Structure 1
Amino acid sequence: MPDMGPWGLGLDQTAAGSAVGRSKPASEPPHTGRAGMPATACNINIGLLGHVDAGKTALAYALTFGTYCGQPSLAPVTSTAAFDKHPESKARGITLDLGFSAFQVPKELVSPEFEAAGISKVQITLVDCPGHASLVKTVLGGAQIIDAMILVIDAAKGFQTQTSECLIIAEITRKTIIVALNKVDLFPEAEREARISKMSQRITKTLEAAGFPNVPIIPVCTKPLEPTAKLTQDADPTGTSDGVQTTASSAGGDGWYECNARWMNIEALLRGVMDSVCVPRRSTQKPFLCMVDHCFAIKGQGTVLTGTVLEGSTKVGDVIEIVSLSENRKIKSMQSFKKPVTTVAQGDRVGICVTKLEPSLVERGMLAAPGSVIFAHAALATAKRIRYFKPEIASKTKIHVTIGHETALATITFLKALTPIEDDFDFQQEYQYEPLLPDHREAPGQTTNRYSVLLEFDKPIACPKNSLFITSKLDDDNHAGACRIAFHGRVQHAMADPNYKEQLAKMLRVYKLKEKVGTIDRVVDERMLIGAKMFKKETNLELFVGMKVVLGSSHEGTIESGFGQSGKFRVRFATALPESLVRPAKATKNPAGRREAASGQEDDQRTLRLTFKKAVYQDRIYQ
């Protein structure tokens, strides 16, 4: 049996509009250019995810500066949040927020697929995600802005709790995965090859069980192999060494090799990335949508909101909406990794400068074309359970819901459709109330999910149509080793009206299936009987007149009216009742002379069952 990590692995919508992995070519040509990059250039967003202290930030260092090596044309760029520059991150020694850095892929590493698409330059933007259990909300947000994922695994420890959570996030978002098996330098040199092989086999089995076959596993070392090497100020285009240890080749020659020799297999890892990802499909046809992760003021300029464009495009001078504030602002200027740009489109990393905005009001959130994103009080969405989440997921309970970078508590109600769910929520269909969300698995290439969920948020949340949401139990023990990600889906219908329940009463047809059981009080004739013990004496029997009841296993009759004041009722049958009920057999005696009671089978023949539907959002019952 494969090694499945802390709780066993294996499940199932990409960042909006992007497509990575070996899929069919897009129907429209890929968008690859923006004002700051030529039309023959392409930006790919790669996330680094894994357990805390697996070496993600050190790997971001190595990848970012390993491509530079004194070549000005390949000079990398880092954001203010890159490489744990924040004082608190330095003090605690862990990544606390998303970090961003970008570099150009050396031409010799650009795969033929990109060249065939007319792309001569590829820029990679690294998204360094925190690994600490308490920061899973940040990871969930970061996972939704990337095109592919480098899963960083400590070679000595293998799959750990947060590694497994990151793999589940990759399954949910359907990201391409490349594994960086880090810290292999900790293995004694004589045992290194054997131990790398053994760990790679274990990881491969786990990945295959999770639906990720043929994932490249690259052993790497992000600690400099030559401790005496130092990064000179001239070799660091950012002007901040921050412990990055690399030098340019002073003797000319192959700058990549000279620099990359300071780390182990960084070139091989980058080759693995380029061989695994496809040319991203980018579209400018949808309304502009940007996920914001940082916001700060620049004296004399205005307020800068940095983020990743998920859909559409925008340009300097356009009016955009700050969704969380429901306020519009005109774009004053834009930059992409410190280069001024006039337009940005899906997949681009951008800083947007606006005026008259207090930065403390916007920590994270969304920018959008005005009026295109609903600030929702409730939403209807598809629902798919994570099978590694062990506790029951019950209707009418609360759970954390993450959409983009925002997380809010929501009360959940599960619904089951009669037919498979399509892209839009079908208000013409009838739905059955489900007390629990079951583990529903789909065969590859099939869409047979029939489960939906009503999300009722404790506070309004930005909710773009068709946006991915992920639910989690963040109040569970961070260190318990159990899966905290419960279920996921896509928003189909968002409701901005605080009085959304009135809308639900008019539009949503949900019922609870109810059953009442009674028995025969007496038989009137061969087609009518009096029933009892099904209703209380105060029940309004008029509500049930005309409903079908079943006698025994299959004999169907209709409630005709009430009978007396004690809850009894008349039932008429279209066909004659069994003769055994109309003319009961005489009771027999056992050998001891005691009279036998009616058998269990005879009792069942005298049982009346009424199955009906009770509307959840309307005051009515029906069949």
Structure 2
Amino acid sequence: MQNLIPVHVGLVGHIDHGKTELAKCLSDKVFTAGLDKHPQSKKRGITIDLGFSMFSSDKYLVTLVDAPGHADLIRSVVAGASIIDAAILTVAADEGVQIQTIEHATVLKAMGIDKLFVAITKTDLVKNDQVKQVLREVRGIAKRLKLEPVDYIPVSAETGAGIQKMREILLDSLTPPDREDEGPLRIPIDHAFPVTGHGTVLTGTILRGSLSTGDAVQLMPGGSRATVRTIQTFGQERDSATAGDRVGVNAPAFDHDRIERGNYLCTPDSMKTAESLLIGVELNPGYQGRITARMVVKATVGMSSVTAEIVPFRKINGRKIPLKEPEKRVFEAALLLKEKVPAEIGNRVLLMRTDMPVTSMRIVGCGIINDIVRIVTLDQVRTKHGEISRIRDENVLIEGLARTKKRAQSLKGRTVHTKNGVKGKILDSFGTRGVVVGKFDDEVRIEEEIVLEDHIEEEHRFGR
């Protein structure tokens, strides 16, 4: 198994559209809480947690990541999308495209998952004409979202129709991405549990670096440390693992009750936690809501989801000026986090509105982390307005920018501009009533409005 190339494929789609049944049909083995092994999964008859299973060929070890389809569990879908290389979008032939179909496809697009397969499931329940109709629907959605699925495969978990073809198409089309074998270890944790006689076991997918038995590792956030006792991949013990491998790590010194999904196993002292992020954002074209300063969103970084406030801004002469609303669909923003999360520059951030109805598009957009800061400092612009009271041969007199001679003198050397954008400079004060002398780069008129801007640095944190 260690000689096989690891590839990770997510299964996404609307609730009860056959993801778990398809995973069972494709899989050789089921691991890590299994598929629908969670007690609430059995009770409610739906997937509520990430499930992991696998199948292999002579070349690939394919991990299937089964994500829940229920609207309330979208964060688990996003978490799964952070560790996959490709995805299967399931659409039930008897129901067709639903809101979570579109939402999950949007997540894949936002997270950069461009290798997509579409499985039209439950084909045994409908006639062929209905299957063709659903295919047309899905192709329309893919075109609208600018997705290019590798193939569309009708399948039935009940009869087995199309399952072998699905496997063959997957194995023929999968190409593992370049892995980061070098650099500090980084494993996002998706499950942690105790094993009698062994202690805590953590499971996850190595995104970067390598891991060997006996290695010292650190859990972030929190900072607790442990030594790796054993490593397994789908039940087989191994001495080491590298980027791309899915692993179970036995580290007895960790307390499993203190480990949450989204924590990271890493090389000690190699990873920072973020209180605030500066990100570049691209809005989701399907999102119909507004983005306003200090609006609360759910931000997902890797497998961690955290409540955050977003503050759009634009840069002017190196200053970050906050905006009430973004001016374009692509913009920069500060993300003020309610809780610290592990993060690195270059990580993707998915922004959601979980306060919106599940029948609407809740994916706001996706961002890339440009910087990680403890406190966000933005320049609030305060403007003072005056007007030209006299035009002289070499300069003009401006009233209204200051009330006293002392204040007028303090403005010497400051830049001003007209409403039309003509720039000027304050040369000196004039008289005793706050009048200033100014000179402009172009012609100005008597009584023309003049604007003086003051930039005041303000610190921004979540909730204040």
Would you say same fold, with TM above 0.5? yes
Q: Distance in 2 between matches of 1:410 and 1:331?
A: 34
1:336 aligns with 2:233: yes
8 Å CA contact 2:179, 2:207 repeated in 1? no
Q: What is the aligned partner in structure 2 of residue 111 from structure 1?
A: none
1:62 is aligned to 25
Name the residue aligned to 1:610: 451
Are 1:373 and 2:338 an aligned pair? Answer: no
Match of 1:290 in 2: 187
Please report the RMSD computed on the Cα atoms of aligned residues, expressed in angstroms.
Answer: 2.7
**Aligned residue number for residue 206 of structure 1:** 141
Q: Residue 306 of structure 1 aligns with which residue? A: 203
The residue aligned with 2:437 is 571
Distance 1:466 1:558, change over 3 A: closer
Q: Which residue of 1 aligns with 2:462?
A: none
Provide closer, same or farther for how the CA distance between residues 576 and 84 of structure 1 changes in structure 2, counting only shifts above 3 A. Answer: closer
Kindly state the Cα deviation for residue 121 of structure 1 after the two structures are TM-superposed: 2.5
**1:24-43 alignment to 2 at 5 Å?**
36-38=1-3, 41-43=4-6
Cα 1:557–1:357 change in 2 (3 A) is closer
Letter in 1 for 2:366: H
Contact 2:97 2:137 in 1 (8 A): no
TM-score by length of 2: 0.90
For structure 2, the residue ranges without an aligned partner over 5 or more in a row are: 460-464
For the structure 1 residues 554 and 379, does the alpha-carbon distance in structure 2 shift closer, same or farther, using more than 3 Å as the test? closer
CA distance in 2: counterparts of 1:577 and 1:153, whole angstroms = 65
TM-score (norm 1): 0.68
**Is the 1:559–1:569 Cα contact (8 Å) retained in structure 2?**
no
Counterpart for residue 463 of structure 1: 343
For residues 84 and 94 of structure 2, the distance between their equivalents in structure 1, rounded to whole angstroms, comes to 27
1:55-89 per-position Cα deviation (integer Å, ceiling 9, x unaligned) = 1111111111xxxxxxxxxxx22114222122211
Structure 2 counterpart of 1:49: 12
Aligned to 2:426: 559
* SS of corresponding position for 1:83: coil
Contact 2:422 2:442 in 1 (8 A): no
Shift in CA distance, 152/554, structure 1 to aligned 2, threshold 3 Å? closer
Alignment of 1:111-122 (within 5 A): 120-122=58-60
The answer for the alignment partner of 2:362 in structure 1 is: 484
Post-superposition offset of 1:370:
0.8
Q: In structure 1, what is the Cα distance between the partners aligned to 2:220 and 2:442?
A: 67
Q: Could you tell me how far 1:430 is from its partner in structure 2?
A: 4.3
Higher gyration radius (CA) = 1
1:207 to 1:571, Cα distance in 2 relative to 1, 3 A: same
2: distance between equivalents of 1:348 and 1:550? 59
Measure the CA separation in 2 of the matches of 1:149 and 1:271: 15
- d(CA) in 2 for partners of 1:133 and 1:303? 31
Sequence identity, in percent?
26
Aligned to 1:315: 212
Is 1:143 the equivalent of 2:81? yes
SS in 1 for 2:91: strand
User: Offset of 1:552 from its aligned partner?
Assistant: 7.7
What whole-Å deviation, never above 9, does each CA across 1:467-509 have from its counterpart, x for those lacking one?
A: 221111112223xx211121222223324xxxx33xx66xxxx
Query: What displacement does 1:562 show?
Result: 4.7
1:345 aligned residue:
242
Q: Deviations over 1:377-399 (max 9, x none)?
A: 22223222222222221233332
Unaligned runs of 5+ residues in structure 1 are 1-35, 65-75, 106-119, 226-262, 419-427, 442-450, 579-603, 619-623
**Which of 337, 355, 359 is the equivalent residue of 1:475?**
355
Q: Displacement, 1:526?
A: 3.7
Q: For the residues of structure 2 that align with 1:554 and 1:181, how far apart are their CA atoms?
A: 58
Question: Structure 1 residue 388 and structure 2 residue 286: aligned?
Answer: yes
1:546 aligns with 2:413: yes
Q: Secondary structure at 1:490's aligned position in 2?
A: strand
TM-superposition CA deviations, 1:149-168 (whole Å, max 9, x none)? 00011223322111111111
Whole-angstrom distance in 2 between the partners of 1:296 and 1:557: 67
Write the letter of the residue equivalent to 1:185.
D
Q: Secondary structure at the match of 2:147?
A: coil
Specify the alignment match of 2:42 in structure 1. 90
Kindly provide the amino acid, as one letter, of the partner of residue 369 in structure 1.
Answer: T
Distance 1:348 1:374 in 2: 23
Conserved in 1, the CA contact under 8 Å of 2:422 and 2:440? no
Q: How far apart in 2 are the matches of 1:399 and 1:133? A: 16
Alpha carbons of 1:525 and 1:121: their partners in 2 closer, same or farther (altered >3 Å)?
closer
**8 A Cα contact 1:312 1:346, kept in partner:** yes
For 2:295, which of 357, 375, 397 is the aligned residue? 397
Shift of 1:543: 4.6
Shift of 1:51: 0.8
Q: Which residue of 1 aligns with 2:118?
A: 179
Decide whether the 8 Å contact of 1:557 with 1:573 is kept in 2: yes
The one-letter amino acid of 1:154's match is A
Higher strand residue share: 2
Deviation at 1:181, TM superposition (A): 0.7
> Which one-letter code corresponds to 1:358 in the other structure?
D
Q: Distance in 2 between matches of 1:491 and 1:577?
A: 44
- Asked if residue 437 in structure 1 is aligned to residue 322 in structure 2, the reply is no
CA–CA distance in 1 between the matches of 2:349 and 2:120?
Answer: 30
State how far apart, in whole Å, the 2-side matches of 1:303 and 1:556 are: 66
Distance 1:55 1:555, change over 3 A: closer
> Secondary structure at 1:141's aligned position in 2?
helix
**Residues 443-476 of structure 1 deviation map (CA, whole Å, 9 limit, x = unaligned):** xxxxxxxx33222211211113322211111122
1:229-268 alignment, distance < 5 Å: 263-268=160-165
Moved more, 168-177 or 142-151: 168-177
Query: Aligned residue for 1:260?
Result: none
Corresponding residue SS for 1:158: coil
What SS does the aligned partner of 1:311 have?
coil
Matches of 2:169 and 2:368, distance apart in 1: 31
Structure 2 CA distance, aligned partners of 1:543 and 1:157? Answer: 71
Q: CA deviation at 1:609?
A: 2.0
CA contact (8 A) 2:217 2:268 kept: yes
Equivalent pairs, count: 457
Q: Which amino acid aligns with 2:247?
A: V
